[in-house]
Structure 1
Amino acid sequence: MLYPPWLWWERLWLPVNVSWSDLEDTENRVYAKASQLYHIFPFALGLLLLRYLFERFVAAPLADAWGVRDKARVPAEPHPVLEEYYCTRTRLPSQTEVLSLCKKSSWSERKIQLWFRRRRNQDRPGLRKRFCEASWRCAFYFCAFFGGVVALYDKPWVYDLREVWAGFPKQSLLPSQYWYYYSEMGFYLSLLLSLTFDVKRKDFNEQVIHHIATLTLLSFSWISNYIRIGTLVMAVHDSADILLEGAKVINYAKWNKAANIIFVVFTALFMLTRLVIFPFWLIHCTWVYPLELYPPFFGYYFFNIMLVVLQGLHIYWAVLISRMLFKSLFSTVRNYTYCMSMKLTGPAKGTTSSL
């Protein structure tokens, strides 16, 4: 046996007076099953292949058309001692370490610092790589979101959240829900599998936590048949992610004004979906409405705790996004003020040009 017997105790996963036998397929109903979670792996591998093809045959030609080029970088001079130190010890040596390397290499302190700076630049991902990655994520979120809209627009629980729990957990699985769920789970698993090859961002640790929490949440909701609320959570998340990745793509193409406009719209949508709709509609739906139907059980607490973890990440990212927006707007105002002062005073100090 690969798992402990208590793992599938009905009281962990299901409300009182409900057993696994109640969720067996019949002629009229089909239920989600834990054994189907293995389908995530072929979905993830398929998306990795699709990503490779997309980046090579769509994103790369688009980068060429929009003039996205990697900056020319001066390579670090080959040096076995410094290279070994760089790979095995640190990429950013302290002053003491630099002085020690001066003795080993017979180089000056300034030359060693320059070598490490150039060597770090060699490892930094190029602009085209970031462009291709953002293009893939933008394309996926676009397709996933509008696919989710098609799957959800005629469902009663979209317009009345109490319908999410109507008949729970004896809710038949729809084909659209299956494809929507496994596309999303396959995508986040593919992101985890490709973390070592992708551009490492500043919020790398938070991204790992987010992907793992998302996969855990979706897997648990699949087994416990929290699928209706799960589809709503996915749609709410994807809506803002389209604009975020789109802003990155436009920014890499040096269309700064368009990128700033998209980023402002993204910020507004992010705050609305992640700080208003998600906590006050969706989390409220999972905390309050189920208690009208059955007493709380382990799955109830576990699912809501995972939603709260995601909300904590939303707050963290909201702070980062607010800082970025402030810097962007402040920079725009500063540049505008500078340009106006140049028109009034002219390029030479003490002179006045005509308007």
Structure 2
Amino acid sequence: MPAPAITRTPQLFSGDLRPYPGIPADWSVEKSRVAALILRDIERFAPEMLGPLCPAEDQENFWEDASRLSAAWWATDGNLVAKPAGTHDRPWTSEEMSRRFGPVTQDEEGGHHAIDTQINHPIVQQFGGRAMMLGSIGIDDDTDIIQWLATRHRDHGVARGVVKVAAHKNGIWSIELDNDPEVIRRRLLDAMDWTYIRLDGQRDALFVQDELALEFEYRLFIIDGEVVSGAGCVEEFTPLDRQSNRPFDSRMRRIRGHLEQGEPSPVEDRPDIFHELLSFGSRVASAHSGTVVIDVAKNAATGEPVVIELNGISNSGLYASDPWTVAERLLRARDRGYTL
């Protein structure tokens, strides 16, 4: 008697595609071939997502979204169902979220002002190589970020601090520090403008840390405590640019070129740095034991690897990573990477 057919619960996807910019004529034969295969996958799953050709639109945004969708399609053997994003009025259920493959919207995670639960994660504190604090402005001295920054400068010689809004992706600033809290307050107000006023008096609204000079920033995709893919933080790269269809890409920049770093440095293929960061990241991933994206880098002053930040696996930028391997592993994962 033949074995009974296995019924697979459909997986859900709600991510949209940006406008289709086409396949540039100057792309390599291999990159164009991969792009054509991704388009074929989308036409199978949701042809209505492919709009008219818009050559002026952003290439990286479209192909990253398209790669994510293609990866979900292949991981589920085509057993993928489109579903509108959740809202405050009609949020996704825990059961639906457990089958989720698309990006998660802010509404589904608690709203526009929801605190990023990864921002002050113990893993960042343990492996970050710098002092940090989740705090506020104007509530009390123990949690006041201005007092904390002044103390870091006065007692520890820290020259600059990084201030991040604790809500999801809502702003980051590099601030020159001073012994005088009032000087720091004015600099923060000048830099943050209305955001400073809006968050004044809100508890746990801001995350502050010593600013480190970082080199060779690298993104690692972790499933159930294991590193399964990774790529250097090279903004113009997408999964179409990955090296020989491997899950790890060893190209990166010494200087990424954000905050006060100036212009980004040239892309280098650095397998030596890659293996060092992968070894470090594997230890961090094991300590975390869950599903997450971890950004790592080298401290330029000491040469030691550090954790920059943690991000949710569903919304993180892909760079030249391998979302097909990630999606396949995610389908079987104990931890899908969502806060339910």
* TM-score bucket (shorter structure): under 0.3
Structure label with greater radius of gyration: 1
TM value normalised by structure 2? 0.21
TM value normalised by structure 1? 0.20
Greater RCO, CA 8 A, separation 6+: 1
Higher fraction of strand:
2
Higher fraction of helix:
1
